[in-house]
Amino acid sequence: MFNDRRENPYNQTDNYNVNSGDEYKQQSNGGHLPPGAAPGQPLPGQSPSPSRESNPQTSKQENSLKSINQLGETNTPEFVHSDIHTIPIVGQIEGHLVLPPKNKTTKYEHIIPQLIAVEENPNIKGLMIILNTVGGDIEAGLAISEMISSMNTPTVSIVLGGGHSIGVPIAVATDYSYIVATASMTVHPIRLTGMVIGVPQTYEYLDKMQDRVIKFVNNNSHISEEQFRELMFRTGELVRDVGTVLIGREAVESGIIDDVGGLNFALQKLKFLINKREEVIQ
Amino acid sequence: MINYSIIPNELLFSDYDDFDVNYEEIELDDGLTLMVERIDESSVKVVKIISSNHQDFLRSNIQPGMEIKSSLQL
């Protein structure tokens, strides 16, 4: 229950019921849910909180869940403790500007602390990045990429649907990257928003910004700078733009992505990397 | 800002001048502050977690985009 500081004309306390996550917090003493723990579920070895049973809203939710299960409308998987944390990066990567609400966005100021938390949390052994992004703010994307690439926790990414533009450095930032056969990655030059001064320095500036992306991809994948530049400035492939679209295996053949594969491959690889790291630590 | 996206900037920012962010901050019992967008009198949507404790960002019940219902208590 959360107190709102707003003035209440009825002299009432406005509380926000964020299901039972706070009850969980009191139980776990550490103040945080273990990875994969569902809010409202007791920790392994702990009995459910008495206050939870007496909470009418919680029991209402449980009842509705039961009825859904009985009607067979949805099949909710059982809660299983997992030591793998998943971060989906979808839509636009939102950076310094708040984008209009019609855009689906991933906020970098939320991803970065999560990455730190994952790196520091001893219960999290591996990180899976799910990518389906159209790109976004170059600085935000590079910030996320640099954070991922500097983690000790084993990381694996899967590109699903699309991993375009600034999604490319994020995809290659992990220890191992996968792309599903139908996913695509667009490599193209960057664009500038706002007033553009028509002087040679503008081009030099853009070139420098592009170099940041190119160098990062080069350092974290098997593609050379020259090859990546060639893909970036290729003409005749995109109708209204310069660049290249790589689909599934093409992204692997170009050296950007490590392998073609889906969830099973990514999970297997991540578990392999986790075991390898634990062997090294021991 | 430099955008590196396949969505053209004209489309991305088409209604940028028209939309108005109406965010407010609420504080949880444990001192954690959330930036939220008010949907109506009884519910808000989480926009951002404001915390220096990075473990707060792993709390699954207050992730951005999640709706929080409020209940009035006398």
Choose the catalytic residue: A165, A177, A221, A254. Answer: A165
Mean pLDDT of B38-62: 87
Catalytic-residue membership of A81:
no
**Confidence category of residue B66, pLDDT binned at 50, 70, 90:** confident
d(CA A37, CA A42): 9
- Given a cut of 50, the residues of chain A with pLDDT beneath it are 1, 3-13, 19-37, 39-40, 43, 45-53
Residues of A in contact with B21 (CB under 8 A): 98
d(CA A256, CA A178): 10
Report which secondary-structure segment, H or E, holds A192: strand A191-192
Q: What is the pLDDT of residue A173?
A: 97
Residues of B in contact with A139 (CB under 8 A): 2
pLDDT one-digit tens code per residue, A56-80: 666 666 666 665 666 666 666 677 7
Number of Cβ pairs < 8 A linking chain A and chain B: 167
Q: What is the pLDDT of residue A239?
A: 66
ipTM of the complex: 0.76
Is B58–A136 a contact, with Cβ atoms under 8 angstroms apart? no
Choose between B1 and A253: higher pLDDT.
Answer: A253
Q: What is the pLDDT of residue A198?
A: 85
% of chain A surpassing 90 pLDDT:
50
Q: What is the pLDDT of residue A28?
A: 37
Catalytic-residue membership of A28:
no
Among chain B residues, the shortest Cα distance to A26 is held by B30
Select the residue from B1, B3, B32, B69 to test the A interface by mutation, using most A Cβ atoms within 10 A: B3
Mean pLDDT of B28-48: 86
Q: What is the pLDDT of residue A62?
A: 67
Report DSSP letters for A85-151, one per residue.
EEEEEEEEEE-SSPPPTTS-EEEHHHHHHHHHHHHH-TT--EEEEEEEEEEEEHHHHHHHHHHHHT-
Looking from the CA of B13 toward its CB, the CA atoms found within 13 Å total: 16
Among chain B residues, the shortest Cα distance to A213 is held by B4
